[in-house]
Structure 1
Amino acid sequence: MSGLTDFVEANESDILSYEVYFSGDGDRMTVVHMHSDPATLEYHVDAAGPKFSPVGELLELEAIDVYGDPGEDLLQRLREKASTLGTGRVSIHDLHEGFDRITTG
């Protein structure tokens, strides 16, 4: 995963955050990334998707959770990815209220 993370950092300057977490027993991996808009997520799917393929063979994807509206085309692509790698569950979470204090540096 460090190779994928290095690739994303070097090639996706508009991504706000990209982090990989493992459970204490190493059985579960969670990848969290934050985008300023759907276009940066779409770019990520296009740019990093092929780099993820070798790792994808070792994983069973349980879910993709999207916070905000990615648009129908991107949502369909995410559903296809989820179906190919695992259960096919994609959940969209609409913003109710809140604020961001994101700084880049």
Structure 2
Amino acid sequence: MKLRLEENSLRLRLSEAEVAEFARTGQVAYVIAFGPTPSATLSYALARLPATDAAPAVRVRYAAGALVVEVPAAIAEAWTSTANIGFEERVLAAENRELCILVEKDLDCRH
């Protein structure tokens, strides 16, 4: 899964295998090590919210070194079970700024 961060936007691009994994398990996650200690890592994930969670929209959780994009079950199902390439959501962030979240299928990717 490719992660791109750029001025108030976050983009995740998933390979065909990763989309299938997300559809099957509800999560795709990776850890990047930036140094020799466990605290020098960044984990990032795409996670499907339980169907019982009433969240109407995509949301982001962030804690030191951990970023999770959470997707309502209905949006996840519609994305993984159709030819839809992606979905976009704008969420309110600090100081009333919007964070644009874009999640896409990277079907030509061979990693």
TM-score of Structure 1 vs Structure 2, range by shorter chain: under 0.3
TM value normalised by structure 2: 0.27
TM value normalised by structure 1: 0.28
Counting helix residues as a fraction of each chain, which structure ranks higher?
1
Higher relative contact order (CA 8 A, sep 6+): 2
